[in-house]
Structure 1
Amino acid sequence: MREAVSAKTVWRKRSKPLASVRSSRITAADLLLLGAGVVILFIAACAIVPGWIAPYSPTEMLTGSIMKPPSAAHLFGTDYFGRDIFSVVVHGSRDSLFIGFASVLAGGVVGGSIGALAGYAGGMVDTVLMRCNDILMTIPGILLALAIAGALGPGMVNIVLAVAISSVPGYARVMRSQIISIKGRTFIAASQSVGAPPLHIFWKHVLPNALSPLLVMATIGIGTSILTGSGLSFLGLGVLREVPDWGTLLSQGRGYLTVAWWICTFPGLAITLFVLAVNIIGDRLRDHLDPKKNASR
């Protein structure tokens, strides 16, 4: 009997490391998340220190290398001015990323504030704010951004405002629903029963618990904002600079698609990869912050 027990004990001790090894295996989702992080870090480095990555100046016109296909000397080829496409894409990432992050920050703050005020105040305030928000939600985001950008004219500030305003209704609706859900929970009623001021309850208990879905939405919204900004630039309502952003590059290269496909292909790939990477990060963040999935684990 002692030998049987000791053998069983030894088997348990040996099986625990095997179980821990199996649980620590890298899955395909982990590799996908790692790849998305690498893409985001690389594009962020391109926006922060483009001179360290781009082999040429984005305004340098190589007259002997006009519309050359991708090669070892020019990874993405050259355009009709002889500019190195890779260098232009690297330098153009700064404006594209600025539009994405600035519009999400502005839209999230404004929309979140409107939703928080409507959800926590309730009554007539909620009714008026949400009916105005519903009017904006009936207009597709890209059409609303297009109308605002067309009215304000091209420019960095104007395109950020156009993309930010078009995203406000979504943030307001999500924030309002979260505030209403948290406001009716037991710990809020307990704080009210001990005489805590409404503003104290809002800042200390309601708002911190309502920010997680808004953070996930903002993360995924960065990719959407870059797509919207690139679309406006493609239509000629973007940033007018010597170094174009990704959307402007697409617009400039569409006329040469049959003879020089690389001029607009690689800026389009840059937009696609960054948006895909941001969405992967946002999906993983949503899964991590979802209380239902965490409870089931």
Structure 2
Amino acid sequence: MKALFGIATVNRRDAANHALQAESQGWKKQKRQQWFSLLLAGLASALVALLIVFALVPQWIAPYSPTAMMTDRILQPPGTANWLGTDYFGRDILSLVIYGTRVSLLIGFSSVLAGVLAGGILGALAGYAGGWTDTIIMRMMDILMTIPGVLLALAIAAALGPGLPNIVLAIAAASIPGYARVMRGGIVGLRTRGYIESARALGASNWHVIRRHILPNAVSPVLVMATIGLGSSILTGAGLSFLGLGTVSEIPDWGALLSQGRGYLTVAWWICTFPGLAITSFVLAVNLIGDELRDRLDPRVGA
């Protein structure tokens, strides 16, 4: 009997040790994943910061002027004199990519800011007011969401014509329904909370309740969506520029560089490759930053 009791005790002890080891291994694996995710987000932030520096002071970094035509180096492959090669005018591709960063980032940031402001205001109004206001605004958003965002931006840009303000307006208009629905969903879930009712009972105005109690708690999902939407805006802007609906300037953006180099893919692959890599790198970087922000701001995801 004592032997059986001893065996049972040993089995329980072994099971407890195995459980502790499994829990320790799971915790270590989770920590490694967190550190790896943080490392990726740090590298992505560094890349975005570098591109912002390119956009702010391209003349300090670019080796040549973007309009300098070196006729003795036309369609030169990447080398020591021109690290990323030259185009059919003899312009340095590295300088063009660096100078094109300004217009590309300006399109992305401006369109996201305009979309967040317009969509956030409409979503906040619909979510807080409710009733017919909510119904009318959200049905309008539903109508816009039935049209693919890229197609809507393309239609608006084609109707307005090329130009920086027009392309920003087109991309922003296509993103408004998404931001409006996210903001409206967050506010609908907050407006019936106890502290909101208490603030109203104490005589707080609607503007005070929205500004002090609702918006600070509803803005996090919109911020994450805007971060990820920045990459989509850059990609959409590049697509519109590729189709000839972008900015009209002697310094092309990344999408215009792709469009200019598509006819030379067989003889000068570098004209399209490096602007495409710049677009891909930026989109990937902001998506990684958006994922990290989501994990930081949403405890349910980080749990």
Using the size of structure 1 for normalisation, the TM-score is 0.89
Q: Distance in 1 between matches of 2:218 and 2:38?
A: 27
Give the aligned residue type for 1:28. Answer: F
Using the size of structure 2 for normalisation, the TM-score is 0.88
2:50 pairs, out of 38, 42, 46, with: 42
Q: Distance in 2 between matches of 1:192 and 1:156?
A: 44
State the 1:190 CA deviation: 2.0
State the 1:202 CA deviation: 1.4
Change (3 A) 1:23 1:108: closer
What is the percent sequence identity of the aligned residues?
A: 62
Contact 2:153 2:174 (8 Å CA) reproduced? yes
Count how many residue pairs are aligned between Structure 1 and Structure 2.
276
1:274 pairs, out of 262, 265, 282, with: 282
SS at match of 1:27: helix
Q: Distance in 1 between matches of 2:237 and 2:32?
A: 41
Give 1:1-297 correspondences, 5 Å limit: 27-293=35-301, 296=303
* Dislocated runs of 4+, deviation >4 Å: 22-26
Q: Distance in 1 between matches of 2:31 and 2:152?
A: 48
Contact 2:38 2:292 (8 Å CA) reproduced? no
Give the aligned residue type for 2:62. Answer: A
Give the aligned residue type for 1:228. Answer: T
**Corresponding residue for residue 5 of structure 1:** none
Give the aligned residue type for 1:196. Answer: A
Deviations 1:43-84 (A, max 9, x none): 111100001110000000001100010011111100000000
Q: Distance in 2 between matches of 1:135 and 1:257?
A: 40
Deviations 1:263-293 (A, max 9, x none): 0100000000011001101110011000324
Change (3 A) 1:247 1:288: same
**Corresponding residue for residue 7 of structure 2:** none
Deviations 1:179-215 (A, max 9, x none): 1001121211222233322222111101111111111
Q: Distance in 1 between matches of 2:32 and 2:239?
A: 42
Give the aligned residue type for 1:139. Answer: I
**Structure 1 alignment gaps of length 5 or more:** 1-18
The Cα RMSD (Å) is: 1.8
State the 1:33 CA deviation: 1.6
Q: Distance in 2 between matches of 1:104 and 1:162?
A: 11
Q: Distance in 2 between matches of 1:219 and 1:25?
A: 22
